[in-house]
Amino acid sequence: MDNGITCIDVHTHRTKYIVVGYEKGQLALIDLNEFKKTLKLIKDHHKKPIVSVKFCDWAKEKPHI
């Protein structure tokens, strides 16, 4: 494998969503219910490995139960 996963973060309230950082600088937002489908892929912004990722909510939300 030439582009390994370097970091993963799980959304605090919506635990079905993860963000994944890769060795070649890509970021991917993935819905674990549809794991084979990437919701958002950022691939041309970073040129170095992503060493840390963290979900950041702009608005204070309560979990949808």
Q: For the whole model, what pTM was predicted? A: 0.78
pLDDT at 57 over 60: yes
Residue type (1 letter), 22: Y
Give the pLDDT of residue 59: 60
Q: Per residue in 11-51, pLDDT tens?
A: 988 899 999 999 999 999 999 999 888 999 998 888 899 99
Band of residue 64 on the pLDDT scale cut at 50, 70, 90: low
pLDDT of residue 27: 94
Cβ neighbours of residue 13 closer than 8 Å, sequence gap 6 or more: 57, 61, 62, 63, 64
Report the distance separating Cα 6 and Cα 54, nearest Å: 13
Q: Which residue has the tokens 């799980």?
A: 10
Q: Domain extents for the chain?
A: 1-56
